[in-house]
């Protein structure tokens, strides 16, 4: 009986069952189905084929970052924003359909749209629009991603003005006053986006400053760029209440024990994301989860059931599409390869915050390297002062800085923070150098095209601070 016949009978058996259409799961599903394995992939929503990134995450948000930066002074903000949202959503629909078509084109693959719940370690029940289907499989991948955290703020859940990022990017109405609760990557990116489109943006952050994991000089440079662009940043606050009114909402908060408030047309909740496991009934499968709801995995991404794996955001690791893709490589190596690839081999993972210009980081900060007792040298320079980076002037983006942390004894690159034009690309070169033992001197003396942003490395790495004790604590 083939998969279509089984589906009609209300039962399916597959070699591989994938729960969730995210990057890691779909990569494994496509490769195994292309090789003739029977694959069933279950996705909760028909709007999420392809996962978070192309539908409500990376692709639409970065499209809005791009378009918000291209608004001209004579563009009417509301009209320009509406056109931008429509253009981005058209790209999303193209990618969503493309992801679905690519999998359904494989003869041995079946996509079910519905909610999956474990019945036992090898079987799930899927409630689809056409009824219940039971799917059993030899191997199961949990790839259900993460979902937004809704903080326990009085008035929040009942507020008509409070939205999540997925709702905000689909609305064609530009908020005149946008208040963002949460100053992490998502909150900062959206602050830049909507400020660029013409909203008055207030960013509320609980920590004493935004980007608290970065060195002070890097964080302060990024904060200065946002403030100079018009974003109002209020750090060290605790939001206490949200009150809806006739013409907007009032967001009340405490700062240093003093009560204050800000008015909003729209309130974006950007308080982080948590693994989406609540409805899976993991206990029925004998799959252990952490207190935070993440599926527990070993270094090969196996769960407490050896035939069940967890990939992507759901396993409690870093929440990035490229991490989910690398998860798929580990799982594929278990299923079709030597089984040697593991999380232990994962080093020098880069990150990018898509503000304008972007902030990209990899490895240790200066502060963390010192705390670890590493003897270090520091190379740091403002982009506006980098003579060997004419591209920054050519594209009229000279804001930011470049900073490298280097082992003083071995010349090993320990980490970097690049706040500059093209940083999202430059950081991949640095990360690759770190993975393959390229020293700071070798990176400094390499040949790069001209004019390019990469050639800034020639100059910046030549400014290494050798007398660390001469640096003031304010520079860290």
| Active site positions, annotated | 450
- Ligand-binding annotation for 183, yes or no, is yes
Residue with tokens 């195994």: 32
CA dihedral (7, 9, 15, 21) in degrees, to 10, reads 30
Positive or negative: CA dihedral 427, 428, 430, 434? positive
Q: Is 224 annotated as a binding residue?
A: no
Do the annotations mark residue 269 as ligand-binding?
Answer: no
Tell me the torsion sign for CA atoms 174, 62, 327, 20: positive
Q: Are 99 and 109 in contact (CB under 8 A)?
A: no
Q: Which residues contact 356 (CB under 8 A, 6 or more apart)?
A: 65, 69, 192, 196, 225, 229, 397
The enclosing H or E element of 405 equals strand 401-407
Do residues 274 and 149 make contact, with C-beta atoms less than 8 angstroms apart?
yes
DSSP string, 52-105: HHHHHSHHHHHHHHHHHTT--TTS-HHHHHHHHHHHHHHHHHHHHHHHHHHHHT
Quote the CA–CA distance of 241 and 154 in Å, as a whole number.
5
Q: Is 49 labeled as ligand-binding? A: no
Cα 60 off chain centre by = 12
Residue 337 marked ligand-binding: no
Radius of gyration over every alpha carbon of the chain, rounded to an integer in angstroms: 24
301 marked ligand binding residue? no
205 has binding-site annotation = yes
Burial 326-365 (b: 16+ CB within 10 A, else e): bbbebbbebbeeeeebeeeebebbbbbbbbbbbbbbbbbb
309 belongs to an annotated ligand binding site: no
**272 annotated among ligand-binding-site residues:** yes
- Residue 370 has a CB neighbour count (10 Å cut-off) of 15
223, 210 contact by CB (below 8 A): yes
* Angle made by CA atoms 404, 407, 408, in degrees to the nearest 5: 110
Contact at 8 Å (CB) between 313 and 301? Answer: no
Ligand-binding site membership of 182 (annotated): yes
Binding residues for FAD: 62, 313
Q: Which residues are annotated as a binding site?
A: 62, 182-189, 205, 272, 313
Query: Annotated binding residues for NAD(+), as ranges?
Result: 182-189, 205, 272
């Amino acid at each position: 009986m083939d998969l279509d016949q089984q589906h009609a009978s209300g039962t399916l058996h597959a070699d591989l069952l994938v729960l969730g259409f995210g990057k890691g799961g779909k990569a494994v599903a496509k490769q195994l189905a292309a090789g003739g394995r029977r694959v069933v992939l279950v996705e909760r929503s028909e709007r999420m084929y392809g996962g978070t990134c192309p539908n409500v995450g990376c692709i639409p948000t970065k499209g809005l970052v791009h378009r918000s930066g291209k608004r001209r002074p004579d563009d009417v903000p509301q009209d320009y924003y509406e056109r931008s949202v429509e253009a981005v959503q058209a790209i999303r629909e193209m990618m969503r359909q493309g992801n679905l078509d690519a999998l359904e084109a494989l003869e041995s693959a079946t996509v079910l749209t519905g909610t999956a719940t474990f019945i036992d370690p090898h079987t799930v029940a899927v409630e689809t629009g056409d009824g219940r289907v039971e799917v059993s499989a030899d191997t199961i991948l949990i790839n259900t991603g993460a979902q937004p955290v809704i903080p326990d703020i009085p008035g929040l859940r009942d507020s008509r003005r409070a939205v999540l990022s997925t709702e905000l990017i689909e609305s064609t109405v530009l908020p005149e006053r946008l208040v963002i609760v949460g100053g992490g990557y998502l909150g900062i990116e959206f602050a830049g986006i909507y400020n660029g489109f013409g909203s008055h943006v207030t960013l509320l952050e609980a920590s004493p400053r935004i980007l608290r994991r970065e060195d002070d000089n890097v964080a302060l440079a990024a904060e200065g760029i946002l403030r100079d662009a018009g974003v109002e940043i209020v750090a060290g606050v605790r939001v206490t209440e949200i009150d809806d009114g006739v013409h907007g909402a009032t967001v009340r908060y405490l700062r240093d024990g003093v009560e204050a408030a800000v008015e909003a047309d729209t309130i974006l909740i950007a308080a982080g994301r948590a693994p989406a496991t609540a409805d899976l009934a993991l206990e029925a499968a004998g799959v252990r989860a952490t207190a935070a709801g993440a599926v527990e995995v070993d270094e090969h991404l196996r769960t407490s059931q050896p035939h069940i794996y967890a990939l992507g955001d759901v396993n409690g690791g870093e929440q990035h599409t490229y991490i989910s893709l690398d998860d798929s490589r580990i799982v594929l190596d278990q299923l079709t390869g030597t089984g040697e690839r593991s999380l232990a081999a994962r080093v020098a993972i880069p990150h990018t915050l898509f503000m304008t210009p972007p902030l990209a980081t990899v490895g240790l900060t200066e502060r963390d390297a010192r705390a670890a007792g590493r003897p270090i040298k520091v190379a740091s320079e403002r982009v506006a002062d980098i003579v060997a980076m004419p591209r920054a002037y050519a594209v009229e983006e000279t804001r930011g800085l470049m900073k490298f942390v280097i082992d003083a004894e071995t010349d090993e690159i320990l980490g970097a923070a690049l706040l500059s034009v093209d940083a999202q690309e430059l950081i991949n070169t640095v990360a690759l150098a770190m993975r393959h033992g390229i020293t700071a001197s070798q990176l400094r003396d390499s040949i790069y095209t001209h004019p390019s942003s990469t050639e800034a490395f020639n100059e910046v790495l030549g400014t290494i601070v050798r007398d660390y004790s001469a640096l003031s604590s304010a520079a860290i």
